[in-house]
Amino acid sequence: MSQGRERPLTVHHLNQLLLVCSLILLVAVAAVRISSRSGLPSLLVYLGIGVAIGQDGIGHVQFDNAELTQVFGYAALVVILAEGGLGTKWAETRPVLPASAALATVGVAVSVGVTATAAHFLVGLEWRQALIVGAVVSSTDAAAVFSVLRRIPLPPRVTGTLEAESGFNDAPVVILVLAFSTAGPIEHWYILLGEITLELAIGAAVGLAVGWLGAWGLRHVALPASGLYPIAVMAIAVTAYAAGAMAHGSGFLAVYLAAMVLGNARLPHWPATRGFAEGLGWIAQIGMFVLLGLLVSPHELGDDIVPALLIGLVLTVVARPLSVVLCLLPFRVPWQEQTLMSWAGLRGAVPIILATIPMVEGVEGSRRIFNIVFVLVVVYTLVQGPTLPWLAGKLRLGTGTEAADLGIESAPLERLRGHLLSVDIPQESKMHGVEVAELRLPKGAAVTLVVRGGTSFVPLPTTMLRHGDELLVVATDPVRDATERRLRAVGQGGKLADWLGIDGEDPKR
């Protein structure tokens, strides 16, 4: 990182590097506790760690490699989008897909135009710089949105719209920033629009194809170890990104769509896969934010604070609400939900990563662009993140409750042509008080073991299930899906599930 003659990496250097990295990870993990209690997105804590060990902090680490930061940022964003896609529920996304697509395309265009106009006339940036700033900050950040919204019990339509928008809008924004940062004027806007449409179409096609093929393969090939499934899932998602990018499409859209297909495909060992993906997502966020914090020079931010506040104010109270209202007008979304979506346009690491593109391309004033974006993201995340739960409560959008879903993990039993289902009964489940015989599982399925209070026993037909129990259910391949639906139905409606008309469909669909 420091200037001077390069020396080869030795084991001694590796030991120091591992020590520093492990300490940073431990501090970052401990800091999540603070951010979760305060309602702040954890990105601010990680950025603070990077600034603290940077050239103006206690670490005095000299780092100014924007190109390296961009490369690592892209790699981390691939992992974050993959993790977000794996957790996106198709049942919530499908009804709001047109609205999310409108926000990710038309909404981005409206936001870029309004924000760039404000940057030019209020701050005095040249039009090229103003367009870059407008494009950079117009993308809602997937990591910030996923980390905040999943802790708030919002209506499915709001959560689905915002999560899908944050997963989709990175692709067109990256294309715009690259176009604005390239040397030379943009002569024909319709050509740029055509290129964006083509890249999105190629990325979508590649992502859906890779996701479908990967899901089909994982469901029909029994791997020898359960730990291989999470690795395979993430490898398939990353393959979608690489294939989409190499096909001159949007790799970011490809990885998100592929991960969404995989996340809704009833793959074996799914809870383990989700845990593995979440762990990789956390590591990607920590590494990316710390590196971005290292890149910033706090002593250079003084002159850019006021411009950043002005641009952020226009973005937050004019550009974002206007784009939400215009895009959601055909869908008759209640004003309460539109208000929350307007305020929930969180920015995070993605704008800061995109701000490194003009630095790499050598755009005049690129350092100022980076500083403005950094200040804007930090200040307005401090304002918007903690106030989201309060605003949701005021709008009466965060009070919905529903029966907790069962956690069912499937492991293939290849020789028996069956599956072993591990079923956890949470506190809110209505399976509490139901006897084993009252489950009325399909023929070919049976509860073989109950784990309760650290002990296990073979249940009788009259054994009453309780909160906290873990059931081991063996189901043959033809009745596996029906068994899962029946277990979910009883978990949601109790022994009267049939009478209540509860079909037990997986909420991911």
Q: With helix as H, strand as E and coil as C, how does 311-345 read?
A: HHHHHHHHHHHHHHHHHHHHHCCCHHHHHHHHHCC
pLDDT bucket at 292, cuts 50 / 70 / 90: confident
| Phi, psi (deg, nearest 5) at residue 458 | -85, 120
CA distances from 408 to 85, 267, 422, 467 (A): 20, 11, 5, 15
| Phi, psi (deg, nearest 5) at residue 287 | -60, -40
pLDDT bucket at 1, cuts 50 / 70 / 90: very low
Q: Examine the pLDDT at 457 and tell me if it is beyond 50.
A: yes
| Six-digit token string for 359 | 């630095």
CA distances from 52 to 49, 189, 295, 383 (A): 5, 43, 11, 22
Shortest CA distance to 177 belongs to which of 372, 356, 349, 376? 356
pLDDT bucket at 503, cuts 50 / 70 / 90: low
Mean pLDDT for the stretch of residues 440-453: 89
Site of tokens 């966020």: 285
Query: Regarding the domain delimited by 407-500, which CATH topology (the fold level of the hierarchy) does it fall under?
Result: Alpha-Beta Plaits (3.30.70)
Given this model, what pLDDT does residue 95 score? 87
Q: Provide the 10 A C-beta neighbour count for residue 318.
A: 15
Q: Which of 15-24, 185-194, 494-503 has the lowest mean pLDDT?
A: 185-194
Cβ-count burial 358-381 (b if 16+ within 10 Å, e if not): bbbbebeebbbbbbbbbbbbbebb
What's at 2, amino acid-wise? S
Q: Which residue has the higher pLDDT, 496 or 201?
A: 201
Class of domain 40-394: mainly alpha
Q: What are the domain boundaries of the chain?
A: 40-394, 407-500
Each residue of 87-113: pLDDT tens digit?
888 887 888 889 999 998 899 999 999
pLDDT bucket at 28, cuts 50 / 70 / 90: confident
Given this model, what pLDDT does residue 23 score? 87
Whether 215 and 207 have beta carbons less than 8 Å apart is answered as: no
d(CA 160, CA 88): 8
Given this model, what pLDDT does residue 151 score? 63
